[in-house]
Structure 1
Amino acid sequence: MLLHKPADQKYYLGISTDGLFVFFDEKKRAFSIEGNSINSYETGFEIVTSIEELIKGLPRIGARVPCLETRDYTRLMNETKLVDFSDQIDEQRMKKSGDELKNIKRACKITSNVMGEVNDHLKPGILESELERRLKTSGLEESHGTAFDFIIASGKNSEMVHAKLKDRRIRAHDLVIVDIGFKYNDYCADMTRTFCLKPNHQQFEKHALIMQAQEIAIRTAKKNVKFKDVNSEVKQFLQKNHVSQFMPYRVGHGIGLEVHEAPFPENEGLLPSGTCFTLEPGIHIPGFGGIRIEDDFVMRAKAKQLTDAPRELKP
């Protein structure tokens, strides 16, 4: 098998090569490929003179085919059939082992603790960038880095789904979306809360609606239920309340070595036990602002929550 994605390399081999190819054979030997140089992870020195020599005589090789097709390695496959193993890789990575789950739980615990500190830092006049800096500093003491670029989006910025961090001063009546996540041993957490220092009635009302939407998602997410059915239930609820057009994204995604990985709601497969995923309903309304609530879960008989911090708006 040829592995290109660093997360796939980490999953199968416990290492990643930052963009290089890794050839993984039936004897579970691993060789990195850089240009025409082949190196063994066991010996640390060059053992094969060319990629052609490494794959010569193999009837087929598994890989994430789209990754390979964007590179120049398809020219090597004249005598070898390239088989797309994307679905098989995703299916294996979806079901987390005990050790994987320990790492994800630790990442979720760190992220939850930092999210619980937001109200201590959130004051009128603080810059979005300053709030981000404080939260990162707090979490980096125990974590192994951030899982993604944090989103701190206040006021008009919160109307955008993927707002860019700005030197904007947060005001008392702003809705403030805080989307953060830390890593532990390369495994990711992803969590979102919405804050407001002085919420009005409409903000309370819409925020309560999104909390309800997440509760519906949690109740619907059960072992061997399709993720797309969870997504449909949430969308139908929001449609009944005339706000579905303001949620232009799916209700969640898988988490693990990548902060966005399988399963996704558009997939036809069921949610098997051991799958870790997010549930994150939200709305982004022009002229009003954005509200999003996101937590991480592991599938058992039903969805078991891994992240934990207050969701309610404080009056």
Structure 2
Amino acid sequence: MITSKKTNIEKLQNKITHLKLDAFLITDPNDLVYLTGIDLSGGYWAVITRKNACLITSKMLFLQLRKLSPEIKVIESKNTVLELKNILKTMKIKRIGFDSQKMMHAVVKNLQKKVNNVIWHPLQNIIEEFRQVKTPEEIEEIRKACKITMNVFKNIRSYIRPGITEKHISNRIMELFYRNNASPAFLPIVASGENTSYPHHLSSDRIIRKNDTLTIDLGAKYNNYCSDLTRTIFLGKITNLYNKIFKIVNNAQKSALFVVKPGIKASFIDKIARKIIASKGYGKFFLHGTGHGVGLDIHEAPGISPKSTVVLKSGMIITIEPGIYLKDKFGIRIEDTVLVTECGYELLTI
């Protein structure tokens, strides 16, 4: 097992002890990757106790999982819930925690009904709290993902021209990711013309025209870790309104970036960007938070939003992405992936 993954399990074990639990059940695919380094799109559950760990999986994945995780006990099971009950009984587990936000309600009810020899403790953000601060190994993977993303964007810029569709560009972006030994962290957003006024537009068959606004939101996933980048460009002669809105959004992003450092509240970063946009009369057209965390998930903690209570720490990786969206006209968003450093920040999407 990679040293950092072993450390991640130990952090959870310390938390289990602190919470006076006997064990913790993990079912979320990316939480499992964080703890074990093994990505099987879920495919297994993990039971972490104060001193030990075991994985429960199907016959189909048993040999593969055992090979990938020689230091953790792997149990083959035809019935995961029944096997879990037996494991907890054998280990004399009485109190077990789980993430109530990441486990479907029906699954929870089934567990509580069938695994009734323990007390179930619903908790939130236990592993997410650990995942917010990246290890040096994680930072390096995200740095590589960002480099691939920037290379793909630079390549796609020369490919964009009037007469091709949004889907055409989106498909080309994905093809380039695969050519660079990566995969898309999410379905690329390619929006043109009035479609740019929708923050999460689904790339369509709309044909790109001369003098269109074009927003491209893309991110590579490399060794399970994501990156995120958005750029808005204009195809043709830049209008006065576009130039005005672009300058406001650009200023909002630069001002938000300027205050990024350890000890700063995430909500304060959002406030800085939002205040600049509102001061120019476009506050109601800023339709989302200023950013989010990036890691194993493309959107994860910490959220950079008005209600966020998170205080930034060195090692967090976030996005800064203010935007203005004018209905039936166009929208502009500028997004970069940023590493919080001991002294401030490092722009990873350069």
- TM-score, normalization by structure 1: 0.90
Distance 1:59 1:213 in 2: 52
More displaced, 255-264 or 199-208?
199-208
Answering whether residue 283 of structure 2 is matched by residue 209 of structure 1, we say no
More displaced, 41-50 or 59-68?
41-50
Answering whether residue 54 of structure 2 is matched by residue 30 of structure 1, we say yes
Q: Among 49, 53, 73, which residue is 2:86 paired with?
A: 53
How big is the shift at 1:77? 5.0
The structure with higher relative contact order (CA 8 Å, sep 6+) is 1
Counterpart residue number, 2:294: 255
Answering whether residue 85 of structure 2 is matched by residue 63 of structure 1, we say no
Q: Among 145, 170, 173, which residue is 1:135 paired with?
A: 173
Residue type at the aligned position of 1:287:
D
The equivalences for 1:32-181 within 5 A come to: 32-33=56-57, 41=66, 42=70, 46=76, 50-56=83-89, 57-68=92-103, 69-71=105-107, 72-76=110-114, 78-181=116-219
Distance 1:116 1:28 in 2: 47
Residue type at the aligned position of 2:326:
I
**Identity across the alignment (%):** 29
How big is the shift at 1:187? 0.2
Distance 1:33 1:55, change over 3 A: farther
Distance 1:76 1:226, change over 3 A: farther
Alignment: residue pair count: 307
Q: Among 27, 46, 50, which residue is 1:4 paired with?
A: 27
CA contact (8 A) 2:135 2:315 kept: yes
After superposition, what is the alpha-carbon deviation per residue over 1:235-259, rounded to whole angstroms, capped at 9, x for unaligned?
1111111111111110000000000
Distance 1:239 1:44 in 2: 55
CA contact (8 A) 1:144 1:186 kept: no
Residue type at the aligned position of 2:195:
N
Q: Among 315, 320, 337, which residue is 1:274 paired with?
A: 315
Residue type at the aligned position of 1:295:
D
CA contact (8 A) 2:183 2:221 kept: yes
Distance 1:269 1:289 in 2: 32
Distance 2:157 2:40 in 1: 39
RMSD: 2.3
What residue ranges of structure 1 are gaps of 5+ in the alignment?
309-315
Distance 1:60 1:154, change over 3 A: same
CA contact (8 A) 1:132 1:152 kept: yes
After superposition, what is the alpha-carbon deviation per residue over 1:145-188, rounded to whole angstroms, capped at 9, x for unaligned?
11001100001111111111111111121111100001110000
Distance 2:74 2:126 in 1: 29
- TM-score, normalization by structure 2: 0.82
Counterpart residue number, 1:293: 334
Counterpart residue number, 1:283: 324
